[in-house]
Structure 1
């Protein structure tokens, strides 16, 4: 028996080395990594620029408390809110922490408690974030949840409109539900949310933990919609593999994030900020994002040509792609694909999720499709 708790259903693989999209296990076997640490390694494994940034910062200072000014945090915040309607940032360590902060600030700012979230959402596993997550399997066994979350069907305009009243502090959603099945917000639903939040004192929180930092082909997924969030949460790709997360907000939220309202010991530490700044400097280039979209179109077209449309549905945005198997379970295929040298993950029971690094090569996309077809298509 391992000295570790058994809270993860781990795959029987120990990855010990990685470069770009290729990883190697303890037996020397190589794989194409199309999980990217679940959308974390946006620039792949051991990207030279990130390694250099971390090494250089480690020789200066590793940690300083947020009791003191950290100029590199300011620079990173400015990079993240440049050319959008957001104006300020708070840095923490994980997506769940970012969502906890956003939930707290929405309640504090509005003076109201009810937050609307959506079925098949995933916002984290801390108590507030877990309570925001509208999935019974995430709640089971933990007793009373944090109160005042209303769960509604995703993309159901009528039910959303019927649930709006004076108790609602915020609407919280993912533009693409990554864990919940790679489900994208519809234009009609996004327009309804935008209208509701624009004409009331209801805030809009967008969870970009998985979709942000170029994953869907734009800096943030909300930029492809009419949505104008008051708060945006982010993590995963923000550090390219180094733990860092954050919340972006509008100027109206500034006074709510007052001294003592929220905090974190490690959030925005110099190591994380140095790596994240390097990620942003690369990923937020228009030419880089154009390539993500070109690769997305290439991959999606190849998958649609290769998978029978009467059996499978291909969906997603950017390089967050889902292959929907209908009623068939995907778990057995994940094992088969591992044996053939391709690492992927699920998105619910019936959807296979592809999350390659954003700088994946076209030859690697071709190889992944070849392995997928060989393993799955009957």
Structure 2
């Protein structure tokens, strides 16, 4: 069918600026889009979202409705809506208003507890997108963003439709979607995967997630002594992980992770090739790739102390990285030298 995947590096095609926003990123690659023969429509996706969606249904909606632009949208609690573009639709599905990250979001007409927000997924007719980008981005005060500029400016001038993303007909049988541009949302999305019946089911064989995985051996659990037992419950563990006399509870353990003797890991995310040392205690922690947690380290039980050493989010998630521990070790070493002096 002539399908393929092309990875296009960032470019500076219209001056000395790198991409100044989502709209500018498309603008600087318009020549590549238009070089494809018989390209009438373009589907634009965000790179920091987690969901399952059958795009063909949205494309069919776009074509059948005669839209120039279609914006995917989903219902979200009103208290979360300020983080997104909030939109309103009329009975015909036309977008009649759109405000990016409003301080006081407008609720849905039939439900004051929710707002209709943009998912950052768009379908444009290429001729409409081409004309709008070329005209709009000549303005030096432009914010170069679809949500701030392009979509609001097209209301009343083009046929804009809202495609409401629901569970109907989509893989997984639900309308699950999260924007993981913030650490707290990334953490929440990961914790969602650990539910007995997760909204986003990685084990769904009818709509599998295709990815490239390095071949690694299976997960290994070591020791079964009364005070030294390696186990994991309510968790997801990836290939190559070794739980050596430690305890893992309600956590995600990535590939090639080691949890050493007497360590306790609770409500946490351990990224690839990280090591949790002996007798460590971690709670609600994201451990970065190749990060080695020294023996006896306690994180997540005293957030005020954690803030002095690590990154702590608004929701109390502690983010630690290899660089943080390297910096801490350097400070400790300098303190030892000063003490000796």
Higher helix share: 1
Larger Rg over CA atoms = 2
TM-score, normalised to structure 2's length? 0.28
Higher-RCO chain (CA-CA 8 Å, sequence separation at least 6): 1
TM-score, normalised to structure 1's length? 0.26
